[in-house]
Amino acid sequence: MVKKSLCGLDADEMCDLIRASGFTAAHALLISNSIYKKSISDISDIAKIPYRLKEELSNIAVSGINLPLSSEVSADKSVKYLFRTETGKEFETVYIPDNKRNTVCVSTQSGCRMGCSFCVTARYGFRGNLSAGEIVNQIVAIPEADKVTHIVFMGMGEPMDNLENVLKACRIITAEWGLAISSRNVTVSTVGIMPGIKQFLERSACNLTLSLYSPYSEERKKSIPAENQYPVQEIINMMKNFPVKKKRRLSLAYVMIKDLNDTDYHLEGLKSILKGSQIRVNLLPFHPDWKDQNFSSSKERMQFFKHNLIVSGISSSIRKSRGADISAACGLLAIR
């Protein structure tokens, strides 16, 4: 018999698992707290539940908390972890400490099939989707689990290509019976799969970031194949018109590449498509690998973009690069 993984179950599923044996929702809550808040990997170590429940649970389930295979530490103290599923799919996770803000960048797939030209993960290829439990495990199984304050779905894979598992993982992360991290501290990134984005906006309260690359469709098609099926202008219009609750953020991630998308022409395009919206722009440095002939825009150019966007009434910031020396920065995750 294949045993259930407790990590990845929601409150109702946890309750259903033990109800037939006469146990209650209160017992299920104790189990959930042990898995998600205390990272207890051995069912026999779960406190305050009857011994008989521990025995019966051990016969039908495992904790689902699987430790990383290896780790690598950056000069800036970021840590990249390598995980492997029971079926052999490998993926990477990054822990990013920054004063009182400690972020985990999780993967949603092993590899990715979106084929974006500026992303090293795309060259790794697609190996498969991760389950909700495998996504959440990237948070609870690392040594820094009790310090985590923010979650970003910006690791390997396209979240909207694995939507149901991502939505379930978000529920577990934000629920009181789960990790109890505020939805305002959880951000999911996408290159633009419109049906998935629509569902995500309607079914989740977490933040959304759209990876833009270029405000011009014909340019974007050359680097982001999803543009051919889901034009970014339509996605941005949907984001503009979606009723956003207080403190929920919708934003664009704009990776700046020297002479490719950092010209005045691109700046004007950005200002044009965002005019009159509350969508924020996060400017990111480009991280080339050794095969790439392109380079990141200069700090001065990035500051120029930021200043001009803000003057135009568009909220903008420059995201600091972290973990580049260990290939843990945005766009560099790929099993080596």
Which sequence positions are flagged as catalytic?
92, 330
Whether residue 260 contacts residue 224, with contact meaning beta carbons closer than 8 Å, is answered with no
Which secondary structure element, helix H or strand E, spans residue 19, and what is its range?
helix 11-19
Q: Among all chains, which residue has been given the structure tokens 């430790």?
A: 67
Helix (H, G, I), strand (E, B) or coil at 274: helix
Whether residue 71 contacts residue 49, with contact meaning beta carbons closer than 8 Å, is answered with no
Which secondary structure element, helix H or strand E, spans residue 210, and what is its range?
strand 207-211
53's tokens:
């429940």
Q: How far apart are CA 272 and CA 276, in angstroms?
A: 9
CA distance between the termini of the chain: 35
**284, amino acid identity:** L
Q: What separation in angstroms does the CA of 214 have from each of 2, 47, 304?
A: 47, 53, 17
Whether residue 54 contacts residue 129, with contact meaning beta carbons closer than 8 Å, is answered with no
